[in-house]
Structure 1
Amino acid sequence: MTIPQDSGVSQAGRRANPWLVLFVLCLGFFMILLDTTIVNIAIPDLIDDLGASLDDILWILNAYILVYAVLLITAGRLGDIHGPKRLFMLGLVLFTVASIACGLAQSPEQLVAFRIAQGVGGALLTPQTLAVITTIFPAERRGAAFGVWGAVAGLATVTGPALGGWLVSEWGWRWIFYVNVPVGVLALALAAVFMPDLRFHRRHRLDLSGTGLVTLGLFLLCFGLIEGQSHDWGAVWGPVTIPMVIGAGVLVLAVFVWQLHARRDDEPLIPLRLFADRNFSVMNGVVAAVSFGMLGLFLPLTIYLQSVLGLSALQAGLTTAPMSAMSMVFAPFAGRLADGRHGRWALLGGMTLWTVGLTAVILTAQPGSDRGDLMPGLLVAGLGLGFVFAPLQTIAMRGVEPRQAGAASGVINTTRQLGAVIGAAAVGALLQAQLATSLAEQARTNAAGLPEGVRERFTEAFAHMGSGGMEVGAGQSGAHLPPGTPGPITELAHTTFQQGFTTAMKVTTALPLAVLALAALSVLLVRSRPAPVTIPDQPTPAPTTTDPVTADH
């Protein structure tokens, strides 16, 4: 029998207040996403307090996102098997306890281990949010719900630096982890009471071989992309190189896809029939591009705000706050549009405005700019971003059967994280290459009037900066000048860095902007009216002797 998708929603889900459930889901989801960006702002304090090396810092930042990205698909499937409520609450408990442990860490090694535990908790929680929203909201209200969810996703991404800057400045770096505790406890209590325990008649099985293959493949791919720049894309373990690690990851993922096809009549980890829906396939590409563009653009832009414009970490975070505010204001409206026939055009308009706004920000950015010069572009970008998340999620999940919502959510969230990893790696590598060129050229130009011996040392300082690491704190020049360097030369070094970095940033950001523009065009491939879905089984609340809405067993 062919029926509308939303008829599969359980009576427990219907009796539960879906907007209250959405609030609980967004509370947990906000906390998880916030931790992908909030830690960056505490790097100087971590180095000073824990005696962390550069490699330690890289792993403190990346251990979380690596584990998070690798486990999302498996966690989504586990939600289908054991019920999204159980996995959501388990993820909350693990993430909250791991946050306490992170705040108590006494060494870089301890902090890396606890960040891994945070990543596991976040991966268990995240896919359940989309799965529950897809199941408890009827189709005509789902877009508005995704609008709220999308606003939270955008808010968490751009709020991290500002909130982290305030916490580090006022309370110390440990509070970027402790702040999760009251939020996690509140979300856990509300989830226990208000989330329906949704189940299906069909008994699911976990595809163990598929789980192993996708976990190994994604780990190798993400590890290679994250570590590539720090190893100069060369050797990482003896004769093993970064390209070999990435190639092995791609090969393992290819075997995983073959295994999915071979088990298509059984119950593979990812039902390939999900990708028979053109809208789901296209939206996976778009969500990867959105993350690629967001991480790829904010990496150089954050450095520009602090090192070129001389803003503090908190000031740099607050500069992007208006964009976040615009996104929050318009996301619910975009969700209502997505509930009707205009979801495709809302998404196309949002992607276009976001790309145009960010392009304006990059073109406006000059060494002598101030925050006000960037504001028009940021506001346009925020308006566009508000029209991206809700239509994107609504279009992606509209044709998904509720019993496969966990698997679909795991796939699309994994795609989002892979886009972020690839974007950060690609833009980071390109930025380093452009800096090596533009800083050296700018140093040679600006040093023309210096005495010959000083000129040589001046240009060498910037050559080292371009090929090595770079300091990105407010007011720093980035060059490794010796102690006691005269003031005029130090000032010239700062001017050189401002000019060279701005030039490198403009060239580098052409890549993420091109990716966003291509994603905007791909929205035209979306079908306005997807075919109705045939659902062989219905979700039902877990057996209970009391209120089915609050049952939790």
Structure 2
Amino acid sequence: MATQETVPKAGGESAAGARGWTLAVVCIATFMLMLDLTVVNVALPDMRVSLDADFADLQWVLDSYALTLAAFLLTGGSIADRLGRKRVFNAGFVVFTLASLWCGLSQSILQLNLARGLQGVGAAVLFAVGPALIGHEFRGKDRGKAFGIFGGVVGLAIAFGPLIGGALTDALSWRWIFLVNVPIGVLALAVGALRIRESRNPSGHPVDWPGLVVFSSALGLLVTGFLRGHAEGWDSAPIVSMFTGSGVLLVLFVVIERRRGPAAMLDLSLFRIPTFNGMSAATLLWNATVLSAIFLQIGYLQNVLGFSPLETGVRFLPMTLTLFVVAGVTGLLTARVSPRLLAVVSGTLMAVGLGLVTLVRDDSEWTVLLPSMLVAGVGMGIYQPLRAALSVGMVEPEKAGMSSGIAETFQQVGVALGIAVFGAIFQSRAADSFAASPAAGELGDKAGEFGDAVATGAVGEMAGALPPETAGMVTEAAHSAFVDGLQDVLIASAAVTAVGAVIALLCIRSRDLHESARGDHTLDLDAELRELPELGLSPHVKD
């Protein structure tokens, strides 16, 4: 086992002081990163008008960030273990801050999406290294408390993301949802450079460039295929080629990683740990469903019910504040309650919450979403700190960066694929529903164009050129088609989320945690039926 090398901060900073500063800076970085996952949603309609974007362009605003984030997470964590976590973390902060400035100054949708891709590279480093920095500084119950605070900050960012995005967009411009990162990033970078202690794995290997290139290319082809499938045709040669190429590259990636052995960016031995497999699969599925569901629900509030960005953000507070409170409480429980129990409860509540969106009807008020928001918010609040704690808890401390990077990779791959897959399903279902309406018959050859515009909410603007009676009929049909698509996608999302909960039940267990991360799991599903631990259901027995 490699020896963990720690270089104390000059000036005799106490260990306790360094821990506090590390947690503070990581939380600031995480707040910014999570904010950029949620703050953008409410500004998408304004971006569409300002930059003349279509639905696929708007998906790329989210997916270009999530895609590069996912592609560079593994490398970010591995490089940090080898070159020094503080050094790499600060470099990621510089990239993220400069990319945020570019996003805010972009003059076209192409520029914005390229800038978002670069922003994702910086975010990948911060996402991967942040939990590893916490995991290195804290142990035992203190680690549980630290991740409780960390989870609370994640919840806070999600809680106020739509509200902050709405306020900035309404008061200033959508550009300020990115520009606000610049002064905060500069301040946090200065504090981190002065106060965070360095740590690294001195036996690290060179960067796995072949693995990085092949893995990134595979993800790019996969997500692009889903994003362009509706427009090009799912059985068209380009789309089939993208999916085939992605599959081949993923197989090649596994071959490369096996041959590189200890130098690989992905430690394939982790896949022999049931908890790692279970949490990775659940993380991918839950992020694919929940984040894409929020994306579509925000579209419903703005495009169907006509709320402004700020009004939309206010109406999402029930979900996000619930998430914030529950995440803080859950973080304190991660050292005492079975991770399997927390994961199963989390996934079940998220599935139920997504299923409750089926209560929405064509004439519903926004409050019909409240049951879904509250139930899903509790589930998400339980999941966030649990995922962060498990990501660094299954390996020895010197591999924390790599492990955290893998965990975040599954999370961001889920986000990218979810928005692409469920966005494509939604767009297709909404367009088909509109095409089947009487209003489509009134439009003749223009029906297809109007149907494709349902997903972006642009039908109201297009209907302005129609006679008043026809315009009203078309707008009503577009709203109905949007609701049809939303319900179909959320039913599918709930089913996929439930599958994730079953996987968590069968795979996650406390015994897989590294000794430095084990707590006193007084409520532990793994303790009974030792001969069948994958089916253990007994509480109150120590593992």
Q: Structure 2 length normalisation: TM-score?
A: 0.85
Distance 2:402 2:62 in 1: 27
Give matches, 1:382-461, under 5 Å: 382-441=377-436, 443-444=437-438, 456-458=441-443
Aligned to 1:501: 482
Distance 1:62 1:533 in 2: 34
Aligned to 1:130: 131
Assess, with a 3 A threshold, how the Cα gap between structure 1 residues 409 and 396 changes in structure 2: closer, same or farther: closer
Distance 2:355 2:495 in 1: 10
Offset at residue 46 of structure 1 (A): 3.9
Aligned to 1:80: 81
Aligned to 1:549: none
Q: Structure 1 length normalisation: TM-score?
A: 0.84
Give matches, 1:49-60, under 5 Å: 49-50=50-51, 59-60=60-61
Offset at residue 148 of structure 1 (A): 2.9
Number of matched pairs: 511
Give the match's secondary structure for 1:263. helix
Offset at residue 323 of structure 1 (A): 0.9
Question: Which one is further off, 81-90 or 111-120?
Answer: 111-120
Aligned to 1:64: 65
Distance 2:476 2:107 in 1: 39
Q: Does structure 1 residue 485 correspond to structure 2 residue 486?
A: no
Give the match's secondary structure for 1:198. strand
Offset at residue 91 of structure 1 (A): 0.9
Gaps of 5+ in 1: 448-454, 536-553
Cα shift readout 1:432-462 (whole Å, capped 9, x = no counterpart) = 2222332233x23xx6xxxxxxx83247655
Offset at residue 242 of structure 1 (A): 2.0
Q: Does structure 1 residue 523 correspond to structure 2 residue 465?
A: no
Q: Does structure 1 residue 244 correspond to structure 2 residue 241?
A: yes
Aligned to 1:333: 329
Give matches, 1:260-409, under 5 Å: 260-264=257-261, 266-360=262-356, 362-409=357-404
Offset at residue 324 of structure 1 (A): 0.8
Offset at residue 383 of structure 1 (A): 1.9
Of 433, 453, 470, 1:469 maps to 453
Assess, with a 3 A threshold, how the Cα gap between structure 1 residues 218 and 20 changes in structure 2: closer, same or farther: same
Question: Which one is further off, 378-387 or 44-53?
Answer: 44-53
Offset at residue 215 of structure 1 (A): 2.7
One-letter code aligned to 1:164: G
One-letter code aligned to 1:470: V
Cα shift readout 1:213-242 (whole Å, capped 9, x = no counterpart) = 22332333233333434434466xxxx612
Q: Does structure 1 residue 259 correspond to structure 2 residue 224?
A: no
Distance 2:406 2:171 in 1: 39
Assess, with a 3 A threshold, how the Cα gap between structure 1 residues 10 and 244 changes in structure 2: closer, same or farther: same
One-letter code aligned to 1:483: A
Assess, with a 3 A threshold, how the Cα gap between structure 1 residues 384 and 120 changes in structure 2: closer, same or farther: closer
Give the match's secondary structure for 1:400. coil
Q: Does structure 1 residue 93 correspond to structure 2 residue 94?
A: yes
Assess, with a 3 A threshold, how the Cα gap between structure 1 residues 356 and 329 changes in structure 2: closer, same or farther: same
Offset at residue 258 of structure 1 (A): 1.6
Q: Percent identity of the aligned residues?
A: 32
Aligned to 1:510: 491
Offset at residue 86 of structure 1 (A): 0.8
Distance 2:179 2:461 in 1: 36
Is this contact kept in 1: 2:94–2:189, CA < 8 A? yes
Distance 2:98 2:278 in 1: 37
Assess, with a 3 A threshold, how the Cα gap between structure 1 residues 55 and 170 changes in structure 2: closer, same or farther: same
Cα shift readout 1:369-403 (whole Å, capped 9, x = no counterpart) = 22233223312221222111122332343221111
Q: Does structure 1 residue 202 correspond to structure 2 residue 186?
A: no
Give the match's secondary structure for 2:200. strand
Offset at residue 182 of structure 1 (A): 1.7
Distance 1:399 1:50 in 2: 45
Distance 2:344 2:209 in 1: 39
Offset at residue 247 of structure 1 (A): 1.6
Is this contact kept in 1: 2:4–2:201, CA < 8 A? no
Offset at residue 424 of structure 1 (A): 1.2
Cα shift readout 1:186-230 (whole Å, capped 9, x = no counterpart) = 211221122110123424322233233223323332333334344
Assess, with a 3 A threshold, how the Cα gap between structure 1 residues 533 and 161 changes in structure 2: closer, same or farther: closer
Give matches, 1:177-196, under 5 Å: 177-196=178-197
Distance 1:201 1:69 in 2: 26
One-letter code aligned to 1:498: H
One-letter code aligned to 1:221: L
